[in-house]
Structure 1
Amino acid sequence: MKNILFVCTANICRSPFAEGALKKLLMGKKVAGIKVHSAGVSAVPGLPSPPDAIRIACELGVDITEHLSRPLSPSMVEEADIILAMSLFHREVILEMSPESENKLKLLGSFSKFYGGGEETEIPDPYGLTSFHYRSSFNIIRDCIYNLYKELICD
């Protein structure tokens, strides 16, 4: 079983949306053998996603209503086969926590075909901003998830 971990700051906006979007795609295509979860480098355990994040995610077909935040732990990093961080800062925190994780760690934005997709492409944090910002970030994530999915099934 392949274990995929998405990481952002508080685990209430970007990484839960990425987790939900990939799970939905995998279920829709009936792909088994891939476990998907998310965590935050500064997450307070048990917080729900903000109402705007839930609403925009729902509009985009991803249900994060039941999501509760989880702090990133060394065991999560160790158990993951693929770690996808939202920003360079998150990547640095993960590498400080587990230097040996470098070969399985990428920025999710590197999978974007529409929004740049360079190795250092970050996903903007919409927290506390407008619905436009949530929609923009989540659309970038959807683009990345689709391209990640294509890479996963071609392996």
Structure 2
Amino acid sequence: MVKVLFVCTGNICRSPTAEGVFRHRVVQAGLDGRIGVDSAGTHGYHIGEPPDPRSQQAAKARGVDLSGLRARKVTPEDFYEFDHILAMDDGHLAHLRRMAPADARAAVTLFLDDAPDVGVRETPDPYYGDARGFERVFDLCEQGAAGLLARVRPDR
């Protein structure tokens, strides 16, 4: 099984959206059970909380349910449990690389590296903005998820 972890700051906006979108694509591709998906935050601000209601609303409007997800903090064990750890921005990427054990097996990269045509490298934080920011994050996650699935799918 290929295992993928998405990481943002608090695990209530960007990374759960990416998790939900990617999981949806995995199921649509008939790869459920062959690709594991999770998300976490670099900080424990919202441990146990569901995704931001605005993230849930943007996802639900497009047929993706985030309501069952709960925030957690990334752990050193994640670097052994997952094959791919995807950071939502450069700050997360630097944080993850600093905390990665020397013998970690996970590849740590930026999520949007798998969507080079979107014109941005980082997934912007929509938390302090309006609904349009959450829609933009969903759009980016759709494109990033498509590229990521093409790269990591075990049946290619």
TM-score (normalised: structure 1)? 0.90
Residue 104 of structure 1 pairs with residue 107 of structure 2: yes
* SS of residue paired to 2:39: strand
TM-fit CA distance, 1:75? 0.6
TM-fit CA distance, 1:113? 3.9
Residue of structure 2 in register with 1:28 after alignment: 28
Q: Which amino acid aligns with 2:144?
A: C
Matches within 5 A, 1:6-155: 6-31=6-31, 32-43=33-44, 44-98=46-100, 100=102, 101=104, 104-116=107-119, 121-153=121-153, 155=156
Does the CA-based 8 Å contact 2:79-2:106 persist in structure 1? Answer: no
TM-fit CA distance, 1:102? 8.7
- For residues 91 and 102 of structure 1, the distance between their equivalents in structure 2, rounded to whole angstroms, comes to 16
- For residues 29 and 14 of structure 2, the distance between their equivalents in structure 1, rounded to whole angstroms, comes to 23
Any stretches of 5+ residues in structure 1 without a counterpart? Answer: none
- For residues 85 and 151 of structure 1, the distance between their equivalents in structure 2, rounded to whole angstroms, comes to 16
Q: Which amino acid aligns with 1:39?
A: A
Runs of 4+ in 1 over 3 A off after TM superposition: 99-103
Q: Which amino acid aligns with 2:132?
A: F
Does the CA-based 8 Å contact 1:18-1:145 persist in structure 2? Answer: yes
* SS of residue paired to 1:66: coil
- For residues 116 and 77 of structure 1, the distance between their equivalents in structure 2, rounded to whole angstroms, comes to 29
Does the CA-based 8 Å contact 1:24-1:62 persist in structure 2? Answer: yes
Q: Which amino acid aligns with 2:115?
A: S
- For residues 64 and 103 of structure 1, the distance between their equivalents in structure 2, rounded to whole angstroms, comes to 25
- For residues 7 and 83 of structure 1, the distance between their equivalents in structure 2, rounded to whole angstroms, comes to 7
Does the CA-based 8 Å contact 1:21-1:142 persist in structure 2? Answer: yes
- Name the Cα RMSD after superposition: 1.7
Q: Which amino acid aligns with 2:85?
A: I
TM-fit CA distance, 1:128? 2.5
Q: Which amino acid aligns with 1:24?
A: H
Greater relative contact order structure (CA < 8 Å, 6+ sep): 2
**Seq. identity, %:** 31
Whose helix fraction is larger, Structure 1's or Structure 2's?
Answer: 1
Does the CA-based 8 Å contact 1:113-1:143 persist in structure 2? Answer: no
Q: Which amino acid aligns with 1:79?
A: E
Q: How many residues align?
A: 152
- For residues 140 and 104 of structure 1, the distance between their equivalents in structure 2, rounded to whole angstroms, comes to 21
Does the CA-based 8 Å contact 1:48-1:68 persist in structure 2? Answer: yes
Any stretches of 5+ residues in structure 2 without a counterpart? Answer: none
- For residues 89 and 70 of structure 1, the distance between their equivalents in structure 2, rounded to whole angstroms, comes to 18
Q: Which amino acid aligns with 2:94?
A: E
